[in-house]
Chains A and B, each alone.
Chain A
Amino acid sequence: MTAYIIRRLWQMIPTMLGVILLVFVLFNWVGGDPAYVLAGKISNQEQIDNIRRQLGVDQPMWVQLWIFIKQVLTADFGASWSTNEKVGHILATRLGPSLTVLVPLLILETLFAIALSLAVAYVRGSLTDRVVMIVCTVGLSISILVYIIVFQYFFAYKLGWFPVQGWGNGFVENLFVYSALPILIGLTVSIAPSLRLYRTFFLDEINQDYVRTARAKGLSENRIMWVHVLRNASIPIITNLMSSLPGLLLGSFLIERFFSIPGIGREVILAVERSDFPVIKAITVYVAFATMATNLLADLMYKAVDPRVQFK
């Protein structure tokens, strides 16, 4: 077990190097020279060279790459090129709002999706099952952009059930007032695919031998579903959940922009627009690390829930 973890951690190093290299090449290739914008409306070549020097973009590529690697090792990405704010501080302040929306969203989504999918798996093959599945497919086929535009217009503005947008100072206010509609939209968008996915997990389990054995033993159908099937299907569910978290962090940029939530996704768009390389580098590295870490964690939990899983 320990050996396995060490090996996995060891494997992260080449991956991380690959991430660093790819990001470095991609973003250097596309220019990413913000000197002209930073220099202002009226500037001369000398000022631009001066800025390049300060940002370090006039250095040879390999020096810049080495600086990047050092930054990753020390977890210090310096300051944003456009605001001079410390990158670490930027990320720390943006993470909270993103998680305020995402964590409740994931919890609610998982609970609803599990309950609903268990229910339809129970009545699998029936008309209800088919109708629910088709409704899910229809729901899935509408673009999230449409959901946001329409929901913001009707629920927030026309009906006045939620504030149109905004972000407050207190956690409670943010969670219950400002995050409510974004979470609702998130649920609408994400529950359909989860439901479909979890239903197949449950169906896989229901067809297993142990279910038949349990029935033969005379256990109630409820008990079989809620205890045995749920416990075994929870492995793929957890894996799925964990691996979706890092992607969601950035993936919610649309919601964050429309609802003025100061989260990570919005920050990424802003950084790319401004060619703010330090911020881009930091976010990429942290998210990559989070992705690898959650993958490892998911595998370990896999093991914890199901001792039959063998690590190679």
Chain B
Amino acid sequence: MTTTTAAPGTPAAGAHAVPHTVSPGLWALGWKRLKSDHVGMVSLAIVAAFIVMMILSGVGLVAGDWSKELGVNYAPPSFIGADIEGGTPAAAGVAPGATAAGGPASSYQSSVVDPLADVLAELRGEAKPAAAAEADAADAGKSVDPLADVMADIKAGAAKAAASGGAPAAAVEARAPTLLLGGDKWGRDVLKKTIKGSQTSIFVGLAAAAVAVFLGTLFGALAGYYGNWVDDLFNWFYAVFSSIPYLLLILAVAAVLQQKGILTIVLILGLTGWTGTFRLIRGEYLKHKAREYVQAADAIGASHARRMFVHIFPNVSHVVLVQLSIYAVGFIKAEVILSFLGFGVPVDVVSWGSMLNEAQNELILGKWWQLAAAGTAMALLVTAFSLFTDALRDALDPKLKGRAGM
């Protein structure tokens, strides 16, 4: 795989050994053709910008604090201005103080011994309500606390804790009424989420594409090169996989893998998506193994593995590269659907899919900015990526035109 990504223009490894290979200038020629394609170059620049953003966000230089709640709930974008209605959906009936209201009502005295009553009262730094004290006094007579001495120990240390840690919670941080691209339900910055989300989505797309294309290439190479029963076996495997409805396959694999994070998503998509590449690569290998240069390699005693991966592979690597980018585009979109089905990213991760699914009910509430931000970012990247893929295909192998099936 790594040989494919070698700098364009470097002759592929096998090309030196065997003169009959495709012209050694394939990559150089491709790069030249690509450079003359303006749309392709602009797209490449956009994709590169996204990848730079992904790396910056990955190392924590930008949007590291995306989960911070900077604005009010559903803070509108700055260019619209603060929500006159007050920014928060009315919370009638629940004054914010209601939670803290509490306080033991004297009419509910009980003989229940709270094993931590003293500790809690002191940790909170509050005077024990008279009623409770009375109840304690009453309890002391009838129920014996089996852990009385431990409690005494705790009491001793509690005063200190009350002084240092028991202070009332810090005043709520000031929240911004608007954010540049608006805020989400919790008041998190949509712009930062979009950037952080691009990191996840692009990574998922590229990694899953790598897995799928790797599997497809490996299986396709084996099947196409060896033929006979190996070919039959992989073809059978291919037929089985492509006959099972994709949706059910995804749901089943998702359930088998359980929910462990981004890697799961990569595997779900990768393990179910290799069939298209398999078919193409198998065809290529079938074609190439009969070529003279392969027979020549055989004559000089190259092993099967060497012939497969050192001699033939560089000649089909452009197909692999194109497949890789087609798949990446498809999987970035598929992640949205996985999120809809509930197999999305874990709770401390944000992706475009998770954003779009959050935004599902927001449009109707008039909070369109998250939908717009994630939707636009995704559209921009995917468009650029697709146009770049087209340009790449045209540049590397004009004959392949139109294989974009996703």
Q: Classify the interface of chain A: helix, strand, loop or mixed.
A: helix
Contacts of B256 in A (CB 8 A): 26, 29-30
The residue in chain B whose Cβ has the minimal distance to the Cβ of A252 is B247
- Known interface pairs A137-B387, A150-B363; A142-B375 also in contact (CB < 8 Å): yes
**B243 with A268: CB separation less than 8 A:** no
Within the complex, the shortest CB–CB distance from A35 to chain B, in Å, comes to 17
In the assembled complex, A42 has its CB within 8 A of some CB on chain B: no
Q: Does B245 contact A197, Cβ atoms closer than 8 Å? A: no
Q: Report if B63 contacts A (CB, 8 A).
A: no
* A202 nearest in chain B by CB position: B402
* Given the contacts A246-B245, A250-B245, A265-B247, A201 and B402 also touching, CB distance less than 8 Å: yes
Contact (Cβ within 8 A) A200 B402: yes
B: number of interface residues (CB 8 Å)? 47
Smallest CB separation, A207 vs chain B (Å): 10
Cβ contacts A276-290/B at 8 Å (1 or 0 each) = 000010011001100
Q: Which residues of B contact A265 (CB under 8 A)?
A: 247
CB distance from A212 to the nearest CB of B (A): 18
Inter-subunit contact A291/B356 (CB<8 Å): no
Closest to B406 in A: A193
| A274 part of interface (Cβ distance < 8 Å) | no
Taking each of B252, B341, B371, B390, which has the highest tally of chain A beta carbons within 10 Å of its own beta carbon?
B252
Q: Are A250 and B246 in contact (CB under 8 A)?
A: yes
A18 close to chain B: CB less than 8 A:
yes
The SS class assigned to the B binding surface is helix
Contact B404 A197 (CB under 8 A): yes
- Within 8 Å by CB of A141, from B242, B359, B383, lies B383
B236, B247, B371: the one within 8 Å of A14 (CB): B236
Given contacts A14-B236, A140-B382, A292-B243, contact A196 B404 (CB under 8 A): yes
A216: CB under 8 A from chain B?
Answer: no
In the complex, the chain B residue whose C-beta lies closest to that of A198 is B402
At the interface with chain A, which of B26-34, B143-151, B332-340? B332-340
**A301 within 8 A of partner (CB):** no
Contact A134 B402 (CB under 8 A): no
Q: Is A19 an interface residue (CB 8 A)?
A: yes
Residues from 126 to 155 in A contacting B, C-beta threshold 8 Å? 130, 133-134, 137-138, 140-146, 149-150, 153
Whether A187 sits at the interface, judged by CB under 8 Å, is: no
Q: B357: nearest residue on chain A (CB-CB)?
A: A145
Residues of B within 8 Å of A130, CB to CB, are 39
Residues of A within 8 A of B390 (CB): 133, 137
Is A15 at the interface (CB under 8 A from chain B)?
A: yes
Q: Is B36 part of the contact surface with A, judged by Cβ < 8 Å?
A: no
B186 close to chain A: CB less than 8 A: no
CA distance A204 to B244 in the complex (A): 32
Q: How far is the CA of A146 from the CA of B357 in the complex (A)?
A: 9
A residues less than 8 Å from B404 (CB atoms): 193, 196-197
What is the CA–CA distance of A149 and B252 in the complex, to the nearest angstrom? 27
Minimum Cβ distance to chain A for residue B228 (Å): 15
Which chain B residues (363-406) contact chain A, with CB distance < 8 Å? 363-364, 371, 375, 378-383, 386-387, 390, 401-406
Picked from B244, B247, B253, B356, the residue with its CB within 8 Å of the CB of A145 is: B356
Residues of A within 8 A of B243 (CB): 15-16, 19, 287-288, 291-292
Can you spell out 11 A-B residue pairs with CB atoms less than 8 angstroms apart? Answer: A26-B256, A137-B387, A141-B380, A145-B357, A146-B375, A149-B359, A150-B363, A199-B402, A246-B245, A251-B247, A287-B244
- Chain A interfacial positions (CB closer than 8 Å to B): 11, 14-16, 18-19, 22-23, 26-27, 29-31, 130, 133-134, 137-138, 140-146, 149-150, 153, 193, 196-197, 199-201, 203-204, 246-247, 249-251, 253-254, 265, 268-269, 272, 280, 283-284, 287-288, 291-292
Given A15-B239, A137-B383, 4 further pairs, Cβ under 8 A: A15-B236, A26-B255, A143-B333, A145-B337
